[in-house]
């Protein structure tokens, strides 16, 4: 009996050893497809599998780890009316109410406040203070965008020795986590209007926002920042279409014509600008930049229209909207980076395992 048990143990050990070698080998074969795309190579080197497309697919898959379970949970809660089956005073009830339904029992007087928590029941006269605030906001916005554009292009195109920064996802995460920290401090210190927006509705604008930011960073690998800024001018058509889809807005025909002409003009400039040729951008890389910028325009247009619809419906403040959006943005990008880190950690373990040599054979017992 002891001899039989020992033989079964040896067979089990050998089988485990085979699995231990076969599985990592298959994983390395899959990894080699991505390894063919070196960090410094671009679209024209591997036209069938562009680097940005692989990165996009990976990001969408990791976002799905959060979006799909969340969507299924919300759908199940609404279909089963689960909130009616739990204690109304319990913490679970409050969480579900805030995340899925919103606080519908808030008095209308608490909700009828403008974007920054100021009552909008009566039109306020234009005072000198408001004009100064407008000028300050305009100057601050322009300065912030100029600095942001300069720094993001510098980060994405600067070579640090033999290396170049390539992880657009990390830049999006850092942007969102810092914004979340700042707006959290602001809403803690300053009084905000009563909030009744279902939290899950911020996830729509959050997803489109991080996708537009990712496209914006990724496009800098293929086109220059001035070209990117000019291309953003063609966002008019996308904004009109998204406004019609999201909010059922109506626009006169001449606005469609103007938006279409702007889009065509910018596309021609992007593909045949001689300044880009001087920077050694090939037709393939410029075309990739155009595709990525098109994604940016679509996602960014949805973000503004969706947030505008939330403002109209729920009358929350801009800081509350920023807080809700950045909570989901930090969650999406954080999970994506975590999964990427786990993948790299496992790949290192696989390499170390393969380099450690074969497992020693277990001698058979004489029992």
pLDDT tens for each residue of 23-34: 444 444 344 334
The interaxial angle of helices 202-219 and 168-189, nearest 10 deg, is: 140
Mean pLDDT of the chain: 76
**Neighbour count for residue 73 (Cβ, 10 Å):** 15
Question: How large is the greatest C-alpha to C-alpha distance in the chain, in angstroms?
Answer: 99
Q: What is the pLDDT of residue 73?
A: 94
Question: Quick one: what percent of the chain has pLDDT higher than 90?
Answer: 29
Instruction: Tell me which H or E stretch contains 51.
Output: helix 51-80
Residue scoring higher pLDDT (111 or 125): 125
Q: Are 2 and 367 in contact (CB under 8 A)?
A: yes
Q: What is the mean pLDDT of residues 250-268?
A: 79
The residues with which 119 forms a beta bridge, in sequence order, are 113
pTM greater than 0.85 (yes/no): no
Q: Are 196 and 100 in contact (CB under 8 A)?
A: no
Q: What is the pLDDT of residue 8?
A: 42
Q: What is the mean pLDDT of residues 70-87?
A: 92
């Amino acid at each position: 009996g002891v001899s039989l048990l020992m033989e079964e143990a040896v067979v089990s050990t050998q089988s485990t050893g085979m699995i231990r070698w076969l599985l990592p080998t298959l994983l390395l074969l899959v990894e080699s497809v991505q390894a063919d795309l070196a960090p410094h190579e671009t679209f024209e080197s591997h036209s069938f599998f562009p680097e940005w497309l692989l990165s996009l697919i990976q990001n969408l898959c990791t976002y799905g780890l959060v979006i799909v379970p969340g969507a299924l949970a919300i759908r199940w809660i609404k279909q089963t009316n689960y909130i009616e089956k739990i204690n109304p005073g319990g913490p679970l009830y409050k969480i579900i109410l805030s995340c899925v339904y919103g606080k519908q029992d808030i008095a209308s007087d608490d909700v009828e406040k403008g974007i920054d928590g100021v009552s909008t029941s009566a039109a306020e006269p234009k005072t000198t203070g408001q004009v100064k605030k407008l000028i300050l906001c305009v100057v601050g916005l322009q300065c912030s965008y100029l600095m942001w554009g300069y720094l993001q292009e510098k980060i994405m195109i600067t070579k640090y020795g033999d290396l170049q920064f390539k992880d657009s996802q990390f830049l999006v995460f850092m942007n969102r986590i810092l914004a979340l920290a700042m707006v959290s401090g602001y809403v803690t210190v300053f009084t905000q209007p009563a909030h009744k927006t279902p939290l899950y509705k911020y996830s729509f604008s959050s997803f489109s926002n991080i996708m537009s930011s990712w496209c914006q960073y990724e496009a800098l690998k293929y086109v220059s920042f001035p070209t990117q800024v000019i291309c953003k001018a063609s966002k008019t058509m996308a904004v009109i279409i998204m406004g019609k889809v999201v909010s059922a807005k109506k626009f006169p025909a001449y606005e469609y014509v103007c938006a279409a002409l702007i889009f065509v003009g910018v596309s021609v400039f992007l593909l045949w600008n001689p300044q880009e040729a001087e920077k050694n951008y090939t037709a393939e890389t410029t075309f990739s930049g155009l595709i990525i910028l098109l994604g940016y325009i679509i996602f960014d247009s949805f973000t503004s229209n969706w947030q505008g619809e939330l403002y109209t419906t729920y009358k929350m403040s801009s800081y509350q909207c920023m807080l809700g959006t950045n909570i989901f943005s930090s969650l999406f990008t954080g999970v994506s980076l975590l999964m990427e880190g786990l993948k790299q950690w496992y790949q290192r373990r696989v390499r170390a395992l393969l380099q450690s040599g074969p497992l020693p054979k277990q001698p058979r017992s004489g029992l």
